[in-house]
Amino acid sequence: MTSQETVRFPAGIEITAPISPAFAEILTPAAMEFVALLCRTFEGRRADLLQRRAARQAEIDAGTLPDFLPETAHIRQGNWTIAPLPADLQDRRVEITGPVDRKMIINALNSGAKVFMADFEDAHSPTWAGTIEGQINVRDAVRRTISYTSPEGKHYQLNEQTAVLLVRPRGWHLDEKHVLLDGKPISGGIFDFALYFFHNAHALLERGTGPYFYLPKLESHLEARLWNDIFSKAQQELGIPQGTIKATVLIETILATFEMDEILYELREHSAGLNCGRWDYIFSAIKKFRNHPDFLYPDRAQVTMTTHFMRSYTLLTIKTCHRRNAPAIGGMAAQIPIKHDPQANEEALARVREDKRREATDGHDGTWVAHPGLVSIARAEFDAVLKGPNQIERKREDVQVTAADLLKVPEGTITEGGVRNNISVSLQYLESWLRGTGCVPINNLMEDAATVEISRAQLWQWLHHPRGILGDGRKVTVELFHSFLDEELARLKALRAGRFEDAARILDELVTSATFVEFLTLPAYRYLA
């Protein structure tokens, strides 16, 4: 390892973590100059927008529910479209997503999916090493030099035909604590974006593709405007034509659904449509209305894609996108292939098939899968429906969705099984995240930061809401939570060693805190190397 003293960074930049020779190829003085420029230019606006989130939360807490914005009615009513899509983003019928681990990047690019989203977000635990290695891995993937040999001696390299690469940087709320600018941690999202763009934009263009992104967890069109301005500045600095960057925004907060036209409009030169990030969306609904007496959500397993508010959201996303000639990408079913149990496996695959069939029939232009074993299943469902590379021509003008549809609370029950499952899944996921793995199979389901946000947010809500009562009449209290937590923790610790005590400390803080913690990754990041 070299230390920062041996690498000359621009004035004001300090890196507080080790820099190996391989890391120094990413953290070059020129790249860090670019990072610093974007952070200096835009950090103030990021901070203001995070403040604005808090102000909107206060309005909701005071009883003002979200609605479509009167001041942007002219944008919703106007007849504009996004700029034409590049050739390699026309057909996105199956997109695989996954962490920026070297082997998984190769497997994902070779999976037969049209697109691979390399994830520095929900599926990524942002350790210093994992984050910079992720940048090395995507750099090598862009240049097609990436290879890997497993400890068992299996060799991995890219096929002739590979998926189109998209990168998802961190959301606005996360800092990169190992990089200080003028003494303060910088934005994790700008850091991820800037390094990928700086090192790869020209190489991507030379290969006939481009710098393509997914943008997570936006809560308003003003947050989209900030990304758009960052894109314009980045392109200008690197001498890349304006409009080259293409970004798909995840509609995964309940507030963003009310501003989908506006988000597409802000990014119209850079837009590659919208995606229904269902897991964060459910989390966001619980989080935003947590203090409202009428909004109490049942067990996580009961908040499905066919509940009224979820169906309304996905249909409105399709209609909004298609009116603007933008693709509407579907989301991720949590089921993954199950080894060694053919019947359970067939049931899991049937659930994925059903989910993808509904998305394709509704009008989505593509969808997400969690695992290479699901690519052909999703593909078959979209092949059966799509007449061309996408179905943007299906405008779905028949869809009528109101604010009330988007806010309808699903009915259901809160059960002891639901409470225990939320505790156990949160503990297992946090424990893995603390060890640097941001996506894991638990009970044969894909779990990542978004799915686990639902679990811990439900625990908080059931504990703090007067109607957080189990089917058998017991109120969810701190005492009940602690007794279940102790039992679930003991069960897990008996199975294997790990950072379960740290995970339990974080979960306890998240659930029993009087005020809701905005994101579980904020306290958890304090524990991360």
Shortest approach of ligand O=CC(=O)O to residue 94 CB, angstroms? 16
> Of 301 and 384, which CB lies nearer to ligand O=CC(=O)O in the complex structure?
301
Considering the complex, state which of residue 264 and residue 329 has its C-beta at the smaller distance from ligand ACO.
329
Q: Which of 168, 278, 394, 396 is catalytic?
A: 168
**Tokens encoding 40:** 């200096």
Residue 118 CA to chain centroid, in angstroms?
11
Residues 6+ positions from 386 with CB-CB distance below 8 Å: 93, 360, 365
Closest CA to 104 of 168, 154, 148, 159: 148
448 is catalytic: yes
**Residue 369 interacting with ligand O=CC(=O)O (CB under 6 A):** no
Structure tokens at 519: 């994101």
Check binding of 336 to ligand ACO (CB under 6 A). Answer: yes
Site string for ligand O=CC(=O)O, 108-147 (x = CB under 6 A): --------------x-------------------------
Report the nearest approach of ligand ACO to the CB of residue 323 (Å). Answer: 26
Q: Please answer whether residues 212 and 164 qualify as being in contact, where contact means their C-beta atoms are separated by less than 8 angstroms.
A: yes
Residue from 91, 219, 280, 488 in contact with Mg ion (CB under 5 A): 280
Q: Which residue is listed with tokens 């967890």?
A: 217
Specify the DSSP class assigned to residue 498.
Answer: S
Note whether 194 and 33 are within 8 A (CB).
Answer: no
Nearest approach in angstroms of CB 305 to ligand ACO is 13
Q: Which residue has the tokens 């009883």?
A: 63
Question: Residue 169 binds what, of Mg ion, ligand O=CC(=O)O, ligand ACO, none (CB under 5 to 8 Å, by partner type)?
Answer: none
SS3 415: coil
The position carrying tokens 């978004």 is 450
Task: Kindly tell me the burial class for residue 456, based on how many C-beta atoms sit within 10 Å of its own C-beta (0-12, 13-18, 19 or more).
Answer: buried
Instruction: Answer with the entry of Mg ion, ligand O=CC(=O)O, ligand ACO, none that 224 interacts with (C-beta below 5 to 8 A by kind).
Output: none
Q: Shortest approach of Mg ion to residue 2 CB, angstroms?
A: 35
For Mg ion, the closer of residues 335 and 451 by Cβ is 451
Contact 201, 240 (CB under 8 A): yes
CA distance 199 to 306: 42
By CB under 6 A, which span of 35-43, 88-96, 138-146, 274-282 interacts with ligand O=CC(=O)O? 274-282
Residues 219-278 that bind ligand ACO (CB under 6 A): none
Encode burial over 398-427: b for 16+ CB neighbours within 10 A, e otherwise. ebebeeeebbebbebebbeebbebbbbbbb
3-state DSSP percent of the chain in helix, strand and coil, to 5: 50, 15, 35
Active-site residue flag, 491: no
Q: Is 250 in the site for ligand O=CC(=O)O (CB under 6 A)?
A: yes
Asked if 217 interacts with ligand ACO (CB under 6 A), we say no
Burial class (CB in 10 A: 0-12, 13-18, 19+), 218: buried
96 binds, among ligand O=CC(=O)O, ligand ACO, Mg ion, none (CB under 5 to 8 A by kind): ligand ACO
Residue 418 token pair: 């639901």
Per residue, what are the HEC states of 254-283?
Answer: CCHHHHHHHHHHHCCCCEEEEEECHHHHHH
| Residue with nearest beta carbon to Mg ion | 280
Q: Which residue is it, tokens 């953290």?
A: 27
CB of 368 to ligand O=CC(=O)O, least distance (A): 8
Q: Is 278 in the site for ligand O=CC(=O)O (CB under 6 A)?
A: yes
Residue placing its CB nearer to ligand O=CC(=O)O in the complex, 121 or 488: 121
Our finding on whether 218 is near Mg ion (CB under 5 A) is no
Asked if 129 and 435 count as a contact pair (C-beta separation under 8 A), the reply is no
450 touching Mg ion, by CB under 5 A: yes
Looking at 91, 119, 192, 448, which residue is catalytic?
A: 448
* Residue of 112, 337, 389, 523 interacting with ligand ACO (CB under 6 A): 337
Considering only residues 15, 142, 440, 503, which one is a binding residue for ligand ACO as defined by CB under 6 A? 440
Residue 381 to residue 347: CA distance in whole angstroms: 17
Residue given tokens 């400390």 in the structure block:
505
- Beta-bridge partners for 212: 246
> Which whole-number Å values give the CA distances from 358 to 79, 115, 333, 366, 394, in the listed order?
29, 20, 12, 12, 15
Of these, 128, 191, 265, 279, which contacts ligand O=CC(=O)O (CB under 6 A)? 279
Cβ nearer to Mg ion, comparing 104 with 454: 454
- Residues 446-475 contacting ligand O=CC(=O)O, CB under 6 A: 450
Q: How far apart are CA 297 and CA 317, in angstroms?
A: 22
d(CA 211, CA 244) in angstroms, rounded, equals 7
Binding mask 326-355 for ligand O=CC(=O)O (x = CB under 6 A): -----xx-----------------------
Does 378 help bind ligand ACO (rule: CB under 6 A)?
no
Residue with smaller CB distance to ligand O=CC(=O)O, 447 or 488: 447
Q: What is the dihedral of CA 253, 257, 259, 261, to 10 degrees?
A: 130
User: Which residue in 119, 122, 447, 453 binds Mg ion (CB under 5 A)?
Assistant: 122
Region near ligand O=CC(=O)O per CB under 6 A, out of 241-249, 275-283, 396-404, 520-528: 275-283
What residues line the site for Mg ion (CB under 5 A)? Answer: 122, 252, 277, 280, 450
User: What does the binding site for ligand O=CC(=O)O look like in residue numbers (CB under 6 A)?
Assistant: 122, 250, 252, 277-280, 331-332, 450
Q: Which residues are catalytic?
A: 168, 448
| List of residues contacting ligand ACO (CB under 6 A) | 96-99, 103-104, 107-108, 119, 122-123, 279, 332, 336-337, 370-372, 439-441, 446, 448, 450
